[in-house]
Protein backbone atom coordinates (compact mmCIF):
# COMPACT_ATOMS: atom_id res chain seq x y z
CA UNK A 1 0.00 0.00 0.00
CA UNK A 2 2.82 2.42 0.84
CA UNK A 3 4.57 1.78 -2.47
CA UNK A 4 1.39 2.66 -4.34
CA UNK A 5 1.12 5.97 -2.47
CA UNK A 6 4.76 6.84 -3.23
CA UNK A 7 4.34 5.92 -6.88
CA UNK A 8 1.17 8.02 -7.13
CA UNK A 9 2.97 10.99 -5.57
CA UNK A 10 5.84 10.67 -8.07
CA UNK A 11 3.41 10.54 -10.98
CA UNK A 12 1.57 13.59 -9.63
CA UNK A 13 4.80 15.58 -9.27
CA UNK A 14 5.86 14.61 -12.79
CA UNK A 15 2.49 15.75 -14.15
CA UNK A 16 2.81 19.08 -12.34
CA UNK A 17 6.29 19.63 -13.76
CA UNK A 18 5.04 18.97 -17.28
CA UNK A 19 2.16 21.38 -16.75
CA UNK A 20 4.63 24.01 -15.48
CA UNK A 21 6.79 23.56 -18.57
CA UNK A 22 3.81 24.02 -20.84
CA UNK A 23 2.22 26.89 -18.89
CA UNK A 24 5.35 28.91 -18.15
CA UNK A 25 8.13 27.84 -20.46
CA UNK A 26 6.22 27.72 -23.70
CA UNK A 27 5.18 31.39 -23.55
CA UNK A 28 2.02 30.70 -21.62
CA UNK A 29 0.09 33.37 -19.70
CA UNK A 30 2.27 32.98 -16.60
CA UNK A 31 5.55 33.62 -18.44
CA UNK A 32 5.25 37.42 -18.07
CA UNK A 33 5.18 37.16 -14.26
CA UNK A 34 8.36 35.05 -13.95
CA UNK A 35 10.70 35.65 -16.91
CA UNK A 36 13.69 33.89 -15.28
CA UNK A 37 11.72 30.72 -14.67
CA UNK A 38 10.17 31.00 -18.12
CA UNK A 39 13.56 31.01 -19.82
CA UNK A 40 14.76 28.00 -17.80
CA UNK A 41 11.59 26.06 -18.54
CA UNK A 42 11.73 27.02 -22.22
CA UNK A 43 15.26 25.66 -22.38
CA UNK A 44 14.11 22.49 -20.63
CA UNK A 45 11.26 22.12 -23.11
CA UNK A 46 13.71 22.44 -26.02
CA UNK A 47 15.85 19.68 -24.51
CA UNK A 48 12.81 17.45 -23.95
CA UNK A 49 11.74 17.98 -27.57
CA UNK A 50 15.23 17.20 -28.84
CA UNK A 51 15.66 20.66 -30.37
CA UNK A 52 18.67 21.66 -28.24
CA UNK A 53 22.19 20.29 -28.06
CA UNK A 54 22.78 17.99 -25.07
CA UNK A 55 24.69 19.49 -22.14
CA UNK A 56 28.43 18.83 -22.27
CA UNK A 57 28.38 17.18 -18.84
CA UNK A 58 25.85 14.63 -20.06
CA UNK A 59 27.87 13.94 -23.19
CA UNK A 60 31.01 13.43 -21.10
CA UNK A 61 29.13 11.11 -18.73
CA UNK A 62 27.96 8.82 -21.53
CA UNK A 63 31.39 8.78 -23.16
CA UNK A 64 32.86 7.39 -19.92
CA UNK A 65 30.48 4.43 -19.83
CA UNK A 66 32.01 1.37 -21.48
CA UNK A 67 30.07 -0.31 -24.28
CA UNK A 68 28.90 -3.61 -22.79
CA UNK A 69 26.73 -4.72 -25.69
CA UNK A 70 27.52 -8.18 -27.01
CA UNK A 71 29.33 -8.15 -30.31
CA UNK A 72 28.50 -10.27 -33.29
CA UNK A 73 31.17 -12.41 -34.91
CA UNK A 74 31.66 -9.98 -37.78
CA UNK A 75 32.04 -6.92 -35.58
CA UNK A 76 34.46 -8.77 -33.30
CA UNK A 77 36.56 -9.76 -36.31
CA UNK A 78 36.60 -6.15 -37.53
CA UNK A 79 37.65 -4.91 -34.11
CA UNK A 80 40.70 -7.20 -34.07
CA UNK A 81 41.80 -5.86 -37.47
CA UNK A 82 41.98 -2.29 -36.17
Going from N- to C-terminal start, the domains of the chain cover: 2-66
Residues 6+ away with beta carbon under 8 Å from 42: 25, 26, 27
Tell me the pTM: 0.44
Cβ atoms of 33 and 52 closer than 8 Å: no
Q: Tell whether the model's pLDDT for residue 82 goes beyond 60.
A: no
Give residue 59's pLDDT: 82
Give residue 76's pLDDT: 55
- Residues 21-68 have pLDDT tens digits of 776 666 666 667 777 877 887 787 788 788 888 888 888 888 877 777
Give residue 78's pLDDT: 61
Give residue 20's pLDDT: 75
Cβ atoms of 25 and 38 closer than 8 Å: yes
Amino acid sequence: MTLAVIFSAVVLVLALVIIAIVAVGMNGPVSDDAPEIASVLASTAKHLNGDAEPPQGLVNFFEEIPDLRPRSATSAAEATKR
